[in-house]
Structure 1
Amino acid sequence: MIDRWIAEATECDFKVALEIKKPKSWLKSVSAFANGIGGTLLFGIDDNRNVVGLTDAQADAEAISRLIKERISPYPNFILVPEREDGKNILILTVSSGYSTPYYYKADGVMEAYIHIRNESVIAPSFALNQLILKGMNRTYDTLNSEYDFKDYAFSKLRERYKVWTGNSMEDKLFDSFDTRNEYGKLTNAGALLADDSPIRHSRLFCTRWNGLDKSGGMVDALDSAEYSGSLIILLNEGASFVKRNMKTRWKKTANSRIEMPDYCERSVFEALVNALIHRDCLILGSEVHIDIYNDRLTIYSPGGMADGTRIQERDISNISSTRRNPVLADIFGRLGYMERQGSGFKKITESYHAAHNYRKELEPEFYSDVTSFQVTPYNLNYGTTTNSSNVTIEDESVAITTGYVAIEVAIDGLNASQTTIQKAKEVYKNMGTDGIFGRSDISSITGDSVTAAGKLISKLKAASLIVPVKGYGKGKYRFIEPHK
């Protein structure tokens, strides 16, 4: 019975007995559970899960209900159930995650809100308390009005991306429908984060290529480093460029073509960086998004844990529903083609890695989160592998071209299309090779065109029998055919 309760509990605390004279010892857990993802208190059981039992479970149950009503504000939702285990009476108190946060413990003129960190209930730090206040108001940071005037800021990067993605110019009225400007001409926090010269100074990106497997690399600790500020779009583009210039691509010849093997799956890195920038907790000051590249891995760090309070390392990556800390920013990035609105980023990160030619099970991307941080660690797909110089080449700025590669380019040259379209088709093939799986969104990311234009390019490639559909990766996925000599 105990094991069932523990297995079903989101969080769990054990109490040998009910402390009536010192109720804070357990009421702070009630506050923390209501402020978090919920949890269960088991009275009459010690920390080693041994059943001790309660002397008077009925009186204890009445005291629990009374003390919660007197000491926790607002009144949380909970269920109190008596049970018998090994012939002894115990009480199971299950506290639901609340919507009217923060839930305070109040006594002796003091009100304190608690949160659960590493199996301990602690007083919520200022940023966590602000999060709880916003949650209780049904508001998010990005929807709040800022002190900055729309007329004082430029949005060239936002307008440029909107034009590329949709084919239309971004009119000023769209800033209202995007919830980036209020009726008084003030920017919301979302708008301030998207301004070219963003006035929110802690929205920055720090990038470092370390010399070795950790941050103590010897005589030269860092091989490359950069700090970026400005619009979130600038941070995204600069971060992706930093990773690209600090990775290499191997390729090997096959009988008819070549297979490219980059150190990292660029799509996975891009998805992880989008997630880090859009879902970061902007209430945590003095901390920025970081990209740290080591010899064997890179880590993308973002301030703030999972928005729903859970821990990513305890979740099934393939089955996580979308909970967005900054829904306005997420919606805008969805409209710009940087992310999908249904929230499948984690799955994309892992699936893109699985599709890489040089993927091995031990290189599975790792995810970690706690209350204050979120980290994604993709591993270097080429680290530790041997290189046979007769059939594998390391690509820096130029690569050798095999007969098969030329054959596909010649075929693309024969497309019934404009020279601009032909060049874009070649660019797609250069990025994907014959192993890459792609759809309209992937092509648009490479060419900078809208998904509609990407769909037209797919139609031309299909008509020329240069690509074939691929099953098992979702609807509308293709790869280039294997070329023949």
Structure 2
Amino acid sequence: MNFQESYNVELKREVVEDIRKEIIAFANSEGGTLYIGVNNDGSIYGVSNIDETMLQISNMVRDTIKPDITMFMRYDILEQDDKKIISVNIQRGTNRPYYYTKKGLRPEGVYVRQGTSSVPATDTAIRQMIKETDGDSYEEKRSLEQSLTFEATSKEFKQRELAFGLRQIQTLKIINADGIYTNLGLLLSEQCVHTIKIAVFEGSDQNVFKDRKEFTGSLVQQLNDVYNYIDLHNQTYSTFDKLLRIDSRDYPEVAVREALLNSVIHRDYALRASTLISIYKDRIEFVSAGGLLPGITLDDVMLGLSVCRNQNLANIFYRLQLIEAYGTGIKKIMNAYSNCADKPKIESTSHAFKIILPNKNVNTPTSNIDFIDKNEKIVFNIAKEKGFVTRADVECQLDVSSSTASRLLRSMKDKNALSLQGKGKNIKYVLNQSHGN
């Protein structure tokens, strides 16, 4: 028998750590045979201790290569020139890509066959192998990043008195049957690569930025942080019925919550674009990557039909009591505006989904606000005469402390009587247009 290295044949004089690379490459490619006890030139060197050598290879494969590849390997003992050699036949695996455990699903850990050599696979080749073997479901595919932490998610489970141990992680499909983290695990980890970007604008267009921020980390952490950020910009408009104060927020909290959850649960994470939230004077827009699933129309969505793109993620949010039932989010949003002239709008394209929440108070007249506090009337007059008022003005005119002045100005801002301008030491308050008339 003549031995010569080729695309599917590799020769090794003895067992060295490098043979892991060859085994991985054969399993990721078209299969092949590794001969132990044969020199590179094809001459026979032989193996002195057959059983010990086969055990060494078996342990190396079991302990350092993932997923489990042992079922695709066969060992044979051959004899030639009165010397024994070991033939290790490796079939093409069905759970590719296989990789060196310490290196992970990266080019330095994944090898493929190229000519007579085993070379690192490209990122594109790794993703293609994952797609071919794991299917098209993003959340069930193996994560390219395997060094994951779950501090925020674990904390959320603990707050709801839910267990979050190994058994739960397996049940929730955060790891697969081979103990490998899935993309669902990546989404719930601090290493999540997807972000939410928020921009706040001065008016009803994008001409003037007031603020912008990008939120990272676990989707659970992003949900909490983003909601809190929006809540800070969700102002309260106050009116009075005699001595009874009636508060109305610009955006119903339930609508904000459901729109945010929708943009996180239903977006297409195979697309790397960030979820975008834009806060204008008259509306908030939530834009998430990924349009409606094939066969689903906007009319279906409005009727409550829910076909979830990320079923496993939705199940986790259901367990965390973040969602109550599938298909109710849009209905809750619309119900929150049942008594309003302006209704939420929903738009969809092939690759994006948008929810627009109108500001309930944007067209509410503010000139008839009753200043039941005489100090508010004084502040109002100062702003009307000067064109603006500062905290220092209030402290001086009313002879009050800094904290009292700030509280008074915030109260008038909440009533939509004043608007805040500037930052830091340059902060000032100006009358809203209807008050200036």
* TM-score tier after normalising by the smaller chain length: 0.5 to 0.7
The TM-score normalised by the length of structure 1 is 0.48
Residue correspondence of structure 1 range 290-301 to structure 2 within 5 A: 290-301=276-287
Which stretch shifts more, 244-253 or 187-196? 244-253
Query: What CA deviation, in whole Å up to 9, does each residue of 1:234-260 have, x standing for no partner?
Result: 221122122112221012233574322
Structure 1 position 337, deviation (Å): 1.1
Spell out, residue by residue over 1:184-223, the C-alpha distance to the aligned partner (whole angstroms, 9 max, x if none). Answer: 332111110000232xx2x11110001211112xxxx210
Is 1:194 the equivalent of 2:188?
yes
Equivalent in the alignment of 2:156: 161
2:431 corresponds to? none
CA distance in 2 between counterparts of 1:260 and 1:135 reads 55
Q: Does 1:206 align with 2:202?
A: no
Aligned partners of 1:147 and 1:293: how far apart in 2?
Answer: 34
1:20 maps to: none
- Deviation of 1:309 (Å): 4.4
Structure 2 counterpart of 1:252, one-letter code: T
1:389 corresponding residue in structure 2: 369
TM-score by length of 2: 0.53
Question: Match of 2:154, SS?
Answer: helix
RMSD across aligned positions (CA): 3.1
- Larger Cα-atom Rg: 2
Structure 2 residue aligned with 1:182: 176
1:344 aligns with 2:328: yes
Matched, 1:368 2:343: no
CA contact (8 A) 1:194 1:231 kept: yes
Q: Which one-letter code corresponds to 1:187 in the other structure? A: Y
Correspondence 1:457-472 to 2 at 5 A: none
Which of 300, 304, 311 lines up with 1:327 in the alignment? 311
Give the 3-state SS of the residue equivalent to 2:262 in structure 1.
helix
CA contact (8 A) 1:148 1:186 kept: no
Q: Is the 8 A contact 2:134 2:141 kept in 1?
A: no
Instruction: Give the equivalent residue in structure 1 for 2:290.
Output: 304
Structure 2 CA distance, aligned partners of 1:185 and 1:248?
47
In structure 2, what residue type is equivalent to 1:268? A
Is the 1:207–1:291 contact (alpha carbons within 8 Å) kept by the matching residues of 2?
yes
Q: Deviations over 1:160-207 (max 9, x none)?
A: 111222x24422321101111123332111110000232xx2x11110
Task: Indicate whether 1:280 and 2:267 are aligned.
Answer: yes
1:435-467 Cα distance to aligned partner (Å, 9 max, x none): xxxxxxxxxxxxxxxxxxxxxxxxxxxxxxxxx
Structure 1 residues 137 and 159, CA gap change in structure 2 (3 angstroms): closer
1:270 corresponds to which of 257, 266, 271: 257
Going from structure 1 to structure 2, the CA distance change for 1:183 and 1:136 (only over 3 Å counts) comes to closer
Asked if the contact 1:213/1:295 (under 8 Å) is kept, the reply is yes
Query: The residue matched to 2:229 in structure 1 has which SS?
Result: helix
Aligned pair in 2 of structure 1 residues 347, 138: CA closer, same or farther (>3 Å)? farther
Partner of 1:140: 137
Distance 1:380 1:185, change over 3 A: same
When residues 381 and 187 of structure 1 are mapped into structure 2, their CA distance, relative to the original with a 3 A threshold, is: same
Any stretches of 5+ residues in structure 1 without a counterpart?
1-129, 401-485
Pairing 1:21-40 to 2, within 5 Å after superposition:
none
Cα separation, 2, equivalents of 1:311 and 1:396: 49
Residue aligned with 2:337, SS: helix
In the alignment, structure 2 segments of 5+ residues that lack a partner are: 1-126, 377-406, 413-437
Number of residue pairs aligned between Structure 1 and Structure 2: 252
1:259 aligns with 246
Task: Provide the C-alpha distance between the structure 2 equivalents of 1:231 and 1:397, rounded to a whole number of angstroms.
Answer: 37
- Tell me how far apart the structure 2 counterparts of residues 364 and 236 of structure 1 sit (CA, whole Å): 24
Say whether the 8 Å CA contact 1:311–1:370 is kept in structure 2.
no
Distance 2:409 2:290 in 1: 37
